[in-house]
Chain A
Amino acid sequence: MSEVNLNTYAKNTWCPGCGNFAILNAFKSAINELVNEGTPLENFVLVSGIGCHAKIVDYINMNSFYSLHGRVLPPAQAIKLADPKLKIIGFAGDGDAYGEGLEHLIFAAKRNIDITMIIHNNRVYGLTTGQYTPTSPEGFRGRSTPLGTKEMPINPLELMLASGATYLARGTSHGIDLLKRLFKEAILHKGFSLVDVLQVCVTYYNMYEYYDKHVYGLIDHNAGDFNQAMNKIREWDYNSEAPVALGTMYSRQADTFEDKFSAQGSVSTDKDQLITDFLRTAI
């Protein structure tokens, strides 16, 4: 296998020990394998939001669209619709995808558009220096909630399954091989896929020990079965002490949004004729 150099000259500014490095390295290996298996490198477009996670597009020498906080999916979907042969990978943090951009996430899942979302879910705002996010546990003491949050976290995988996503998986930043496998699977899946990565923020919410104690790999799990997937997804609610399953939670095939669009018939491509015809009927 020939190694594709995906590095840029941008200086990496993540904290030492940041879980983002695992995502970066696993992603680069996944891309290397995909390119070697025949997908042209130029056919990938990366889209990121704003936050620590988003710097990843500066660190990878591939087409990218460095979007706004919460706004990974609107441009990602447009790019897919503009050229359905492109492979679109969105990177977003938990604040980004599950907070500010939640409406887009639900709608992209509902449309089953062929895009892969990789969520750097560290359950804390890093770049804005330590506030709670939609997946922080109840009572989380952040800089905006010094007395602890008064609300439950959402279970993003449960929400995504209910919304119509056709591929759902979970990994952690302490398991690069699994991450690489999940990223590849998700990218090759035709339809809306999401990998929730329990990434660890060493500065504001260091969960390495907790995750290492609670995670286990899925075995004998039928990812094609909605009810089994829902049960596994509900095993841990991102709040209570419970086993945390890793691997492919759900996967099924369904029609995609972009295919329905390209099936839409176009009779004429002559715009002058179109305008003339319309004006004639307007008399």
Chain B
Amino acid sequence: MKDFSLLIGGKAGFGIDKSGLILAKIFNRLGFKIYIYRDYPSLIRGGHTFSIIRASVKKIATHRDKVDFVLALNQETIDLHRGRLKKDCLFIYDSDQSKDIAAVCGTGVSISAILKEENAPEIMRNTCIIGAFVKSAGIKREILEEVLRKEIPRDLELNLKVAFRGFEQAKELIKIEPLCNDPMPLISGNEAMGLGLVKAGLKNYLAYPMTPTSPVLHFLAELSEKYPIKVIHPESEISVALMALGFASMGQKSAVGTSGGGFCLMTEGVSFSGMGELPVVFIVGQRPGPSTGLPTYSAQTELNFVMSSGQGEFPRLVVAPGDAEEAYYWAGMSLNLAWKYQLPAFILSDKNMGEGIYSFDMNSAGNIEEEPGLKWGGAGEYKRYSLTKNGVSPLAFAPLKDQVIKINSYEHDEYGITIEDSETTILMQDKRLRKEQGLCKDLEKLAAVKVYGNKKSKTAILCWGSNKGVCIEAAEILNLKVIQPLVFSPFPVKQLQKAFAGVKKTIAVENNATGQLSGLVNSFDFKVDKKILKYDGRPFSLEELQSKIKRALK
């Protein structure tokens, strides 16, 4: 098997996430590359939750509709996902609970009985069904044991016992042959962003919990137990943004994370970041709106919002990574560029990219060296907002003997004292805007736009963010070109022109209802012929996108 998918489903609170990760790590040890899609409702217990673990010989970043294996922890999983089954699929369920499933090509395991005999808690249904699957798929028992030993934090021995009982009861039905590849780290987009920020010298992370970005908060909070970063969860997103500005004024690199609703509260801080020239990285994890919307699903709806957030005019960096490597690299670069040019930077994430799990290849992610920022040399009198050729004023931080450092949200002079006169207003506005020129030049050296698929094709798929993976795979099958802008502000016109060279027809693929990237590229005179828009909160599957592109090609 070169490419297969497994769905594990049950009630929220059953431990589906953890089980999905254990299964993924088993495939990882067999040498496969992984992508996990997680689907869960906005509640704590009950409700249907499932994960699709896809394994492939090549690097992937999307899921398929059709699956080869289903691990059903309850009857609902069988009922809801019947349509996904391939003809020769392998279906594992609890034969003590779901009796009437003649229509399904299933393998029953008496999970309830095993749990009862071993006096094991309900949560161990997972380990039992995983054990049965491992045997059915012809995977070695040692691999199962190795992964469980690493991943199960509590009651390991009982878990192993239950897993082996499941293993023993099942019959080997097929054999997933191991590949000769080394296993790779499996990490989420959220973790990748956290690592990129740490690599670029993050000192503080601030957030008020909000799906789908809370995992960045949890991840960094855990790291802060052994690494000197402060992770703070203040009273509101307003406080989050303004605290980050306070840290920036002290020379401490900081990032914040939220989703659209929380970002609404941060926008006064965004504007202050622009005026005060206080660098902060804002992670905005998108989910369907307006308002509370679908909290645990995904969208690409905040491009316009982020691009124009905050009153007034000031330069900003806006990026949207499409997978874990890009999440790592662009999180680090965002912090670096924010500090080099003293401005706000935004990382547009979404639930699919943030909570999706990828095989992570550090070597292909790109190197990040911490940006020191322009430091003041110490001669004469310090002026926080000194006028310079490229608009970047040297930085100094309190306490500094015999010097005064003044930060100001009002229009101000070079010292940071409030002014209202016309001449200084123009000088300072021009100074701030001038910084964008340097930023543009730096971005020209980076891959701000990427091209994949058949680079000679006259038809291009235009996509951004988490749709990268599914678009590349679909385009490879259909022999098309893919154009993925990663930077939106400053807009990489030159790189996009190069990418569009020879393209006659462009099909945009976006997870929103109005085509926000299409609108943005249009404003720079790039034409979009057709739009494939999906806004039900669910990601495109490979099959779905393939058929939609075929229709658009007609």
Contacts and interface: CB of A to CB of B under 8 A. Distances in A.
Contact of A266 (B228, B236, B403): B228
Contacts of A261: 230
10 contacts: A9-B417, A43-B399, A58-B417, A62-B404, A71-B242, A77-B246, A267-B227, A271-B227, A278-B191, A283-B184
Contact of A74 (B195, B234, B250, B400): B234
Nearest to B405: A63
Contacts of A264: 224-225
Instruction: Give the most central of A9, A76, A79, A267: most B CB within 10 Å.
Output: A79
Given A61-B404, A63-B406, A78-B244, A83 B186 contact: no
A189 interface: no
Interface stretch (B80-88, B407-415, B451-459, B534-542): B407-415
A75 B242 contact: yes
B53 to A, nearest CB: 15
B198 A279 contact: no
A8 interface: yes
Contacts of B250: 78-79, 82-83
A266 B234 contact: no
B32 to A, nearest CB: 13
Nearest to A276: B362
A241 interface: no
Interface in B203-259: 204, 223-228, 230, 232, 234-236, 238-247, 249-252
User: Size range of the interface on B?
Assistant: 35 or more
B398 interface: yes
Interface string B314-348: 00000000000000000000000000000000000
B8 interface: no
Interface string A79-111: 101110110000000000000000110110000
B243 A66 contact: no
Contacts of A265: 225-226
Contacts of A272: 199
Contact of B246 (A43, A75, A266, A278): A75
B242 A274 contact: no
A57 interface: yes
Nearest 5 A/B pairs, CB to CB: A78-B246, A75-B246, A74-B242, A82-B250, A282-B185
A86 B25 contact: no
A45 B247 CA distance: 13
A269 interface: yes
Contacts of A45: 398
Contacts of A107: 234-235, 239
B268 A68 contact: yes
Interface of B: 25, 28, 183-187, 191, 195, 198-199, 201, 204, 223-228, 230, 232, 234-236, 238-247, 249-252, 268-269, 272, 360, 362, 398-410, 412, 416-418
A146 to B, nearest CB: 29
A86 B235 contact: no
A69 to B, nearest CB: 9
A78 to B, nearest CB: 3
B263 to A, nearest CB: 16
B198 A78 contact: no
A40 B399 contact: yes
A181 interface: no
Nearest to B194: A278
A63 B398 contact: yes
B249 A65 contact: yes
A1 interface: no
Contacts of A86: 398-399
Contact of A283 (B25, B201, B232, B249): B25
A10 interface: yes
A183 B403 CA distance: 24
A274 B226 contact: yes
A280 B184 CA distance: 9
A67 interface: yes
A105 to B, nearest CB: 10
Contacts of B191: 278, 282
A66 B399 contact: no
B246 A76 contact: yes
A64 B404 CA distance: 8
Given A68-B409, A274-B227, A82 B242 contact: no
Interface string A9-51: 1100000000000000000000000000000101101000010
B418 to A, nearest CB: 5
A71 B398 CA distance: 20
A268 interface: yes
Q: Which of A10, A81, A85 has the most CB of B within 10 A?
A: A81
Contacts of B402: 42
A147 interface: no
Contacts of B234: 74, 107
Looking at B224, B227, B228, B412, which has the most chain A CB atoms within 10 Å of its CB?
B227
A66 B408 contact: yes
A279 B408 CA distance: 41
A141 interface: no
